[in-house]
Amino acid sequence: MTVAISSLLNRIRVSDSASGPIDAKEYFINMGPQHPATHGVLRLMLKLEGETIREVIPVPGYIHRGIEKIGESVNYRQFVHLTDRMDYLSAMMNNWAVAMGVERATNTVMNDRIEYIRTIFAELERIQSHMLWWGVLGMDLGAFTPFLYGFRDREKITDIFEETVGCRLTMNYIQPGGLMADIHPNFVTRVKEAMAYAKPKIDEYEELLSGNVILQERTKNIGVLSGADAISLGVTGPPLRASGVAYDLRKIEPYGVYDKVEFRTAVGSVGDCWDRYWVRVEEMRQSIGIVEQLIDNIPEGKFMLMKPAKKIIIPEGVYYNAIETARGVLGMVIASDGKSDKPVRIHMRSPNYNNLWAVDSMTRGSRVGDLVANISSLDFVVPDIDR
Protein backbone atom coordinates (compact mmCIF):
# COMPACT_ATOMS: atom_id res chain seq x y z
CA MET A 1 0.00 0.00 0.00
CA THR A 2 1.33 3.41 -0.87
CA VAL A 3 0.89 6.12 1.68
CA ALA A 4 -0.33 9.34 0.14
CA ILE A 5 1.88 12.16 1.28
CA SER A 6 1.53 13.89 -2.06
CA SER A 7 -0.25 16.87 -0.51
CA LEU A 8 2.93 17.75 1.39
CA LEU A 9 4.94 17.62 -1.81
CA ASN A 10 2.27 19.55 -3.67
CA ARG A 11 2.33 22.27 -1.14
CA ILE A 12 6.10 22.66 -1.31
CA ARG A 13 5.87 22.84 -5.10
CA VAL A 14 3.08 25.40 -5.03
CA SER A 15 4.77 27.66 -2.52
CA ASP A 16 8.02 27.40 -4.46
CA SER A 17 6.42 28.51 -7.66
CA ALA A 18 4.37 31.28 -6.05
CA SER A 19 7.08 33.93 -5.98
CA GLY A 20 10.77 33.37 -5.63
CA PRO A 21 12.52 31.04 -3.21
CA ILE A 22 10.57 30.04 -0.12
CA ASP A 23 13.04 31.48 2.38
CA ALA A 24 12.86 35.03 1.03
CA LYS A 25 9.10 35.17 0.63
CA GLU A 26 6.98 37.69 2.40
CA TYR A 27 3.53 36.57 3.31
CA PHE A 28 0.41 38.02 4.82
CA ILE A 29 -1.23 36.80 7.97
CA ASN A 30 -4.47 37.88 9.46
CA MET A 31 -4.41 38.89 13.12
CA GLY A 32 -7.97 39.19 14.28
CA PRO A 33 -10.83 40.07 14.24
CA GLN A 34 -10.81 37.13 16.64
CA HIS A 35 -7.43 37.03 18.29
CA PRO A 36 -6.65 36.95 22.01
CA ALA A 37 -4.19 39.84 21.84
CA THR A 38 -6.43 42.31 20.02
CA HIS A 39 -8.86 42.62 22.95
CA GLY A 40 -12.05 42.41 21.01
CA VAL A 41 -12.57 42.68 17.33
CA LEU A 42 -9.63 44.63 16.00
CA ARG A 43 -8.22 43.22 12.81
CA LEU A 44 -4.61 43.69 11.79
CA MET A 45 -3.15 42.47 8.51
CA LEU A 46 0.49 41.61 9.06
CA LYS A 47 3.05 41.42 6.30
CA LEU A 48 5.62 39.03 7.66
CA GLU A 49 8.99 37.79 6.61
CA GLY A 50 9.59 34.75 8.76
CA GLU A 51 8.62 36.23 12.08
CA THR A 52 9.78 39.74 11.30
CA ILE A 53 7.00 42.23 10.73
CA ARG A 54 7.33 44.31 7.58
CA GLU A 55 4.01 46.08 7.74
CA VAL A 56 0.94 46.29 9.92
CA ILE A 57 -2.32 47.26 8.25
CA PRO A 58 -5.08 47.96 10.78
CA VAL A 59 -8.57 47.15 9.54
CA PRO A 60 -11.09 48.74 11.91
CA GLY A 61 -14.83 48.55 11.54
CA TYR A 62 -15.84 45.20 12.99
CA ILE A 63 -17.72 46.72 15.90
CA HIS A 64 -19.07 49.83 14.23
CA ARG A 65 -22.48 50.60 15.69
CA GLY A 66 -23.06 54.01 14.19
CA ILE A 67 -23.09 55.79 17.53
CA GLU A 68 -22.47 59.16 15.88
CA LYS A 69 -25.35 58.65 13.45
CA ILE A 70 -27.71 57.52 16.19
CA GLY A 71 -26.67 60.69 18.03
CA GLU A 72 -28.42 62.76 15.38
CA SER A 73 -31.80 61.27 16.20
CA VAL A 74 -31.72 61.39 19.99
CA ASN A 75 -31.54 64.34 22.35
CA TYR A 76 -28.49 65.14 24.45
CA ARG A 77 -29.66 63.37 27.58
CA GLN A 78 -30.42 60.26 25.60
CA PHE A 79 -27.07 60.44 23.87
CA VAL A 80 -25.08 60.23 27.10
CA HIS A 81 -25.73 56.55 27.60
CA LEU A 82 -24.45 55.74 24.10
CA THR A 83 -21.07 57.19 25.00
CA ASP A 84 -20.73 54.55 27.72
CA ARG A 85 -20.49 52.01 24.95
CA MET A 86 -17.53 53.65 23.26
CA ASP A 87 -14.61 53.41 25.64
CA TYR A 88 -16.31 51.38 28.32
CA LEU A 89 -13.34 51.68 30.67
CA SER A 90 -13.64 55.47 30.59
CA ALA A 91 -17.43 55.59 30.70
CA MET A 92 -17.50 58.44 33.22
CA MET A 93 -15.17 60.57 31.17
CA ASN A 94 -17.17 59.94 28.01
CA ASN A 95 -20.35 61.02 29.81
CA TRP A 96 -18.54 64.05 31.08
CA ALA A 97 -17.43 65.03 27.58
CA VAL A 98 -21.05 65.21 26.40
CA ALA A 99 -22.19 66.98 29.55
CA MET A 100 -19.39 69.49 29.30
CA GLY A 101 -20.13 70.17 25.64
CA VAL A 102 -23.78 70.86 26.33
CA GLU A 103 -23.04 72.97 29.42
CA ARG A 104 -20.47 75.11 27.68
CA ALA A 105 -22.76 75.63 24.69
CA THR A 106 -25.62 76.70 26.89
CA ASN A 107 -23.37 78.70 29.24
CA THR A 108 -24.43 76.78 32.31
CA VAL A 109 -21.98 76.91 35.19
CA MET A 110 -21.89 73.88 37.46
CA ASN A 111 -21.66 74.24 41.22
CA ASP A 112 -18.64 72.99 43.15
CA ARG A 113 -20.32 69.87 44.46
CA ILE A 114 -21.00 68.60 40.98
CA GLU A 115 -17.50 69.40 39.78
CA TYR A 116 -15.89 67.71 42.79
CA ILE A 117 -17.93 64.56 42.39
CA ARG A 118 -17.33 64.44 38.67
CA THR A 119 -13.59 64.80 39.14
CA ILE A 120 -13.47 62.11 41.81
CA PHE A 121 -15.43 59.72 39.67
CA ALA A 122 -13.28 60.42 36.62
CA GLU A 123 -10.11 59.72 38.57
CA LEU A 124 -11.54 56.54 40.09
CA GLU A 125 -12.42 55.47 36.58
CA ARG A 126 -8.88 56.22 35.44
CA ILE A 127 -7.42 54.12 38.26
CA GLN A 128 -9.62 51.13 37.50
CA SER A 129 -8.93 51.44 33.80
CA HIS A 130 -5.19 51.45 34.36
CA MET A 131 -5.48 48.54 36.78
CA LEU A 132 -7.22 46.52 34.13
CA TRP A 133 -4.64 47.59 31.55
CA TRP A 134 -1.83 46.51 33.85
CA GLY A 135 -3.30 43.04 34.21
CA VAL A 136 -3.97 42.70 30.52
CA LEU A 137 -0.42 43.77 29.67
CA GLY A 138 0.86 41.01 31.89
CA MET A 139 -1.40 38.51 30.20
CA ASP A 140 -0.39 39.63 26.73
CA LEU A 141 3.25 39.16 27.62
CA GLY A 142 2.50 35.66 28.85
CA ALA A 143 2.07 36.10 32.61
CA PHE A 144 -1.49 35.22 33.47
CA THR A 145 -1.37 36.03 37.18
CA PRO A 146 -1.28 39.87 36.87
CA PHE A 147 -4.54 39.70 34.94
CA LEU A 148 -6.37 38.34 37.96
CA TYR A 149 -4.59 40.69 40.36
CA GLY A 150 -5.64 43.66 38.24
CA PHE A 151 -9.23 42.49 38.05
CA ARG A 152 -9.36 41.77 41.77
CA ASP A 153 -8.29 45.30 42.71
CA ARG A 154 -10.46 46.90 40.09
CA GLU A 155 -13.50 45.29 41.71
CA LYS A 156 -13.07 47.49 44.79
CA ILE A 157 -13.60 50.57 42.64
CA THR A 158 -16.44 49.16 40.58
CA ASP A 159 -18.15 48.29 43.86
CA ILE A 160 -18.10 51.99 44.72
CA PHE A 161 -19.59 52.80 41.33
CA GLU A 162 -22.27 50.20 41.84
CA GLU A 163 -23.26 51.66 45.19
CA THR A 164 -23.76 55.19 43.92
CA VAL A 165 -24.62 54.68 40.27
CA GLY A 166 -26.17 51.25 40.20
CA CYS A 167 -23.91 50.10 37.39
CA ARG A 168 -20.40 48.77 37.25
CA LEU A 169 -19.34 49.39 33.67
CA THR A 170 -21.72 51.55 31.66
CA MET A 171 -22.48 54.32 34.13
CA ASN A 172 -24.67 56.93 32.45
CA TYR A 173 -24.06 58.96 35.59
CA ILE A 174 -22.72 62.34 34.55
CA GLN A 175 -25.56 64.14 32.81
CA PRO A 176 -25.81 67.49 31.07
CA GLY A 177 -26.57 69.83 33.95
CA GLY A 178 -25.25 67.70 36.76
CA LEU A 179 -25.37 64.13 37.94
CA MET A 180 -27.94 61.39 37.65
CA ALA A 181 -28.12 60.96 41.42
CA ASP A 182 -26.47 62.22 44.55
CA ILE A 183 -23.59 60.22 46.01
CA HIS A 184 -24.38 57.34 48.32
CA PRO A 185 -24.00 58.10 52.07
CA ASN A 186 -21.22 55.51 52.26
CA PHE A 187 -19.39 57.01 49.30
CA VAL A 188 -16.73 58.98 51.16
CA THR A 189 -15.74 56.17 53.52
CA ARG A 190 -15.78 53.59 50.74
CA VAL A 191 -13.53 55.71 48.54
CA LYS A 192 -11.09 56.25 51.37
CA GLU A 193 -10.99 52.52 52.03
CA ALA A 194 -10.44 51.79 48.39
CA MET A 195 -7.59 54.29 48.11
CA ALA A 196 -5.94 52.91 51.24
CA TYR A 197 -6.27 49.48 49.67
CA ALA A 198 -5.02 50.49 46.24
CA LYS A 199 -1.83 52.25 47.31
CA PRO A 200 0.06 49.17 48.56
CA LYS A 201 -1.39 47.19 45.68
CA ILE A 202 0.38 49.40 43.18
CA ASP A 203 3.65 48.72 44.97
CA GLU A 204 2.75 45.05 44.71
CA TYR A 205 2.26 45.47 40.95
CA GLU A 206 5.74 46.91 40.75
CA GLU A 207 7.12 43.92 42.62
CA LEU A 208 5.31 41.36 40.52
CA LEU A 209 5.92 42.78 37.06
CA SER A 210 8.08 45.91 36.91
CA GLY A 211 11.13 44.36 38.50
CA ASN A 212 10.95 41.27 36.32
CA VAL A 213 13.91 40.91 33.96
CA ILE A 214 11.81 39.30 31.26
CA LEU A 215 9.27 42.12 31.32
CA GLN A 216 12.01 44.69 31.00
CA GLU A 217 13.59 42.74 28.15
CA ARG A 218 10.24 42.59 26.44
CA THR A 219 9.43 46.29 26.82
CA LYS A 220 12.61 48.36 26.93
CA ASN A 221 13.47 49.87 23.55
CA ILE A 222 10.53 48.04 22.00
CA GLY A 223 8.03 49.96 19.90
CA VAL A 224 9.83 53.28 20.13
CA LEU A 225 7.63 56.22 19.16
CA SER A 226 9.38 59.58 19.01
CA GLY A 227 7.67 62.67 20.32
CA ALA A 228 7.53 64.26 16.85
CA ASP A 229 6.02 61.12 15.32
CA ALA A 230 3.50 60.87 18.12
CA ILE A 231 2.37 64.46 17.56
CA SER A 232 2.12 64.09 13.79
CA LEU A 233 0.10 60.88 14.16
CA GLY A 234 -2.23 62.54 16.64
CA VAL A 235 -1.34 60.16 19.44
CA THR A 236 -2.60 61.35 22.81
CA GLY A 237 -2.80 60.22 26.38
CA PRO A 238 -0.19 58.08 28.13
CA PRO A 239 1.51 57.02 24.85
CA LEU A 240 2.13 60.67 23.97
CA ARG A 241 3.40 61.52 27.42
CA ALA A 242 5.64 58.45 27.35
CA SER A 243 7.21 59.89 24.20
CA GLY A 244 8.30 62.93 26.19
CA VAL A 245 5.50 65.37 25.37
CA ALA A 246 3.94 66.67 28.58
CA TYR A 247 0.50 67.10 27.09
CA ASP A 248 -2.24 66.50 29.60
CA LEU A 249 -5.53 68.34 29.20
CA ARG A 250 -6.02 68.21 32.94
CA LYS A 251 -3.02 70.50 33.24
CA ILE A 252 -3.22 72.50 30.03
CA GLU A 253 -6.93 73.30 29.91
CA PRO A 254 -8.10 72.38 33.41
CA TYR A 255 -11.74 71.38 33.62
CA GLY A 256 -13.62 70.15 36.66
CA VAL A 257 -11.53 70.96 39.71
CA TYR A 258 -8.19 69.87 38.31
CA ASP A 259 -6.91 73.41 38.82
CA LYS A 260 -7.50 73.06 42.56
CA VAL A 261 -5.55 69.86 43.10
CA GLU A 262 -1.87 69.14 42.97
CA PHE A 263 -0.63 66.36 40.77
CA ARG A 264 2.26 65.78 38.46
CA THR A 265 2.19 64.66 34.87
CA ALA A 266 4.19 61.51 34.30
CA VAL A 267 6.42 61.97 31.27
CA GLY A 268 8.65 59.37 29.66
CA SER A 269 11.85 59.95 27.73
CA VAL A 270 12.35 57.18 25.18
CA GLY A 271 8.80 56.47 24.07
CA ASP A 272 9.13 52.70 24.25
CA CYS A 273 6.75 50.18 25.80
CA TRP A 274 8.57 50.46 29.12
CA ASP A 275 7.94 54.21 29.26
CA ARG A 276 4.28 53.71 28.44
CA TYR A 277 4.13 51.12 31.19
CA TRP A 278 5.81 53.38 33.68
CA VAL A 279 3.67 56.41 32.79
CA ARG A 280 0.47 54.51 33.47
CA VAL A 281 1.69 53.07 36.75
CA GLU A 282 2.68 56.56 37.86
CA GLU A 283 -0.68 57.94 36.71
CA MET A 284 -2.41 55.50 39.01
CA ARG A 285 -0.43 56.92 41.93
CA GLN A 286 -1.16 60.51 40.91
CA SER A 287 -4.87 59.74 40.50
CA ILE A 288 -4.99 58.25 43.96
CA GLY A 289 -3.40 61.49 45.18
CA ILE A 290 -6.05 63.57 43.41
CA VAL A 291 -8.91 61.55 44.87
CA GLU A 292 -7.42 61.82 48.35
CA GLN A 293 -7.13 65.58 48.07
CA LEU A 294 -10.76 65.94 47.00
CA ILE A 295 -12.64 63.32 48.93
CA ASP A 296 -12.71 65.17 52.27
CA ASN A 297 -13.74 68.49 50.79
CA ILE A 298 -16.87 67.74 48.78
CA PRO A 299 -19.01 70.87 49.31
CA GLU A 300 -22.75 70.88 49.86
CA GLY A 301 -25.13 71.78 47.07
CA LYS A 302 -27.52 70.49 44.45
CA PHE A 303 -26.51 67.63 42.22
CA MET A 304 -28.64 68.56 39.20
CA LEU A 305 -29.00 72.09 37.88
CA MET A 306 -31.02 71.52 34.70
CA LYS A 307 -34.57 70.27 35.11
CA PRO A 308 -34.63 66.76 33.66
CA ALA A 309 -38.08 67.30 32.13
CA LYS A 310 -37.02 70.38 30.23
CA LYS A 311 -35.71 70.22 26.68
CA ILE A 312 -32.08 71.24 26.24
CA ILE A 313 -31.74 73.41 23.16
CA ILE A 314 -28.27 74.54 22.19
CA PRO A 315 -27.86 77.85 20.32
CA GLU A 316 -26.98 77.49 16.64
CA GLY A 317 -23.31 76.74 15.96
CA VAL A 318 -20.57 74.14 16.13
CA TYR A 319 -19.05 73.45 19.52
CA TYR A 320 -15.91 71.58 20.42
CA ASN A 321 -14.63 70.52 23.78
CA ALA A 322 -12.13 67.93 24.84
CA ILE A 323 -11.47 65.82 27.88
CA GLU A 324 -8.57 63.64 29.00
CA THR A 325 -9.82 60.08 29.30
CA ALA A 326 -7.74 57.18 30.51
CA ARG A 327 -6.53 56.69 26.94
CA GLY A 328 -6.05 60.22 25.70
CA VAL A 329 -7.96 63.16 24.35
CA LEU A 330 -11.62 62.59 23.66
CA GLY A 331 -12.83 65.46 21.50
CA MET A 332 -16.54 66.14 21.24
CA VAL A 333 -18.01 68.08 18.31
CA ILE A 334 -21.65 69.13 18.56
CA ALA A 335 -23.35 70.97 15.70
CA SER A 336 -26.75 72.41 16.51
CA ASP A 337 -29.31 74.28 14.40
CA GLY A 338 -30.63 76.15 17.43
CA LYS A 339 -34.21 74.89 17.00
CA SER A 340 -34.34 71.23 17.83
CA ASP A 341 -33.24 69.50 21.04
CA LYS A 342 -31.31 67.05 18.88
CA PRO A 343 -27.93 67.78 17.36
CA VAL A 344 -27.56 68.17 13.60
CA ARG A 345 -24.26 66.38 13.68
CA ILE A 346 -22.28 64.83 16.46
CA HIS A 347 -18.72 63.61 16.19
CA MET A 348 -16.14 62.24 18.55
CA ARG A 349 -12.40 62.44 18.16
CA SER A 350 -11.63 59.24 19.96
CA PRO A 351 -8.17 58.67 21.43
CA ASN A 352 -7.96 55.02 20.45
CA TYR A 353 -8.63 55.67 16.79
CA ASN A 354 -5.67 58.00 16.49
CA ASN A 355 -3.43 55.87 18.65
CA LEU A 356 -4.17 52.87 16.44
CA TRP A 357 -2.24 54.30 13.50
CA ALA A 358 0.93 54.51 15.53
CA VAL A 359 1.14 50.72 15.59
CA ASP A 360 2.59 50.41 12.10
CA SER A 361 5.53 52.77 12.52
CA MET A 362 6.23 51.40 16.00
CA THR A 363 6.28 47.81 14.95
CA ARG A 364 8.07 47.61 11.59
CA GLY A 365 11.13 45.43 11.72
CA SER A 366 10.29 43.79 15.05
CA ARG A 367 8.79 40.40 15.91
CA VAL A 368 5.26 39.17 16.38
CA GLY A 369 5.86 39.12 20.12
CA ASP A 370 6.77 42.82 20.04
CA LEU A 371 3.58 43.64 18.18
CA VAL A 372 1.60 42.15 21.03
CA ALA A 373 3.58 44.23 23.52
CA ASN A 374 2.97 47.35 21.43
CA ILE A 375 -0.76 46.83 21.12
CA SER A 376 -0.96 46.16 24.80
CA SER A 377 1.06 49.22 25.77
CA LEU A 378 -1.20 51.43 23.65
CA ASP A 379 -4.13 50.05 25.64
CA PHE A 380 -6.86 49.83 23.02
CA VAL A 381 -10.52 49.58 23.73
CA VAL A 382 -11.78 48.48 20.35
CA PRO A 383 -15.38 49.75 20.56
CA ASP A 384 -13.90 53.22 20.90
CA ILE A 385 -11.99 52.84 17.63
CA ASP A 386 -15.11 52.04 15.62
CA ARG A 387 -17.85 53.70 17.66
Partner 1 sequence: MIPHAGYEVITLSDRANAALPESLWLSIGYMLLAVASTAAFMSVLGMALVYVERKVAAHFQCRLGPMRVGWHGILQSVADAIKLLLKEDLVPDRADRLLFFLAPAFSVLATLLALVLIPMSPTMQVVDLNIGVVFIAAVGGFGVLGILLGGWSSNNKWSLLGAMRAGAQFVSYEVSIILSLLVAVLFAGSLQLSEIVQSQADGWWIWRGHISGFIAFIIFVIASTAELNRPPFDLPEAESELTGGYHTEYSGLRFSFFFLSEFINMFIASALGATLFLGGWMPFHIGGLDGFNAVMDLIPPGVWFAGKTGFIIFLTMWVRWTFPRLRVDQLMRLEWKFLLPLGFTNLMVAACLILTDSYFFPL
Cβ 84 to partner 1 shortest distance, Å: 27
Of 1-9, 88-96, 183-191, 331-339, the window that binds partner 1 (rule: CB under 8 A) is 1-9
Candidates 41, 67, 117, 139: give the one binding partner 1 (CB under 8 A): 139
Site string (4-43) toward partner 1, x via CB under 8 A: xx-xx--x---------------x-x-----xxx------
Region from 115-123, 148-156, 174-182, 261-269 binding partner 1, contact rule CB under 8 A: 148-156
Spatial separation of the C-alpha atoms in residues 205 and 277, rounded to whole Å: 11
Residues 93 and 369: their CA atoms lie apart, in Å, by 32
Q: Which long-range contacts (CB under 8 A, 24 or more apart) does 29-35 make?
A: 31/371, 32/59, 32/62, 33/62
Least Å distance, CB 303 to partner 1, is: 37
Determine the interface stretch with partner 1 among 65-73, 133-141, 193-201, 241-249 (rule: CB under 8 A): 133-141
Q: Nearest to residue 182, comparing CAs of 174, 190, 170?
A: 174
CA angle 327, 356, 384 (to 5 degrees): 55
Among 58, 138, 177, 238, binds partner 1 (CB under 8 A): 138
Q: At 274, phi and psi to the nearest 5?
A: -65, -40
Q: Give 3 or 109: the residue with its C-beta nearer to partner 1.
A: 3
Measure the N-to-C terminal CA separation of the chain; round to a whole number of Å: 59
Rounded Cα distance between 202 and 208, Å, is 10
Q: Least CB distance from residue 204 to partner 1, whole Å?
A: 11
- Residue 367 beta carbon to partner 1: minimum distance, rounded to whole angstroms: 6
Number of Cβ atoms within 10 Å of the Cβ of 134? 26
Burial of 127 (0-12, 13-18, 19+ CB in 10 A): buried
180-219 mask for partner 1 (x: CB under 8 A)? Answer: ----------------------------xx--x-xx-xx-
Q: Distance of CA 190 to CAs 57, 163, 196, 292, Å?
A: 45, 10, 10, 12
Binding of partner 1 by 362 (CB under 8 A): no
Query: How many chain residues touch partner 1 (CB under 8 A)?
Result: 35
Which is nearer to partner 1, 204 or 316 (by Cβ)? 204
Binding site for partner 1 (CB under 8 A): 3-5, 7-8, 11, 27, 29, 35-37, 51, 138-145, 148-149, 152, 208-209, 212, 214-215, 217-218, 367-370, 372
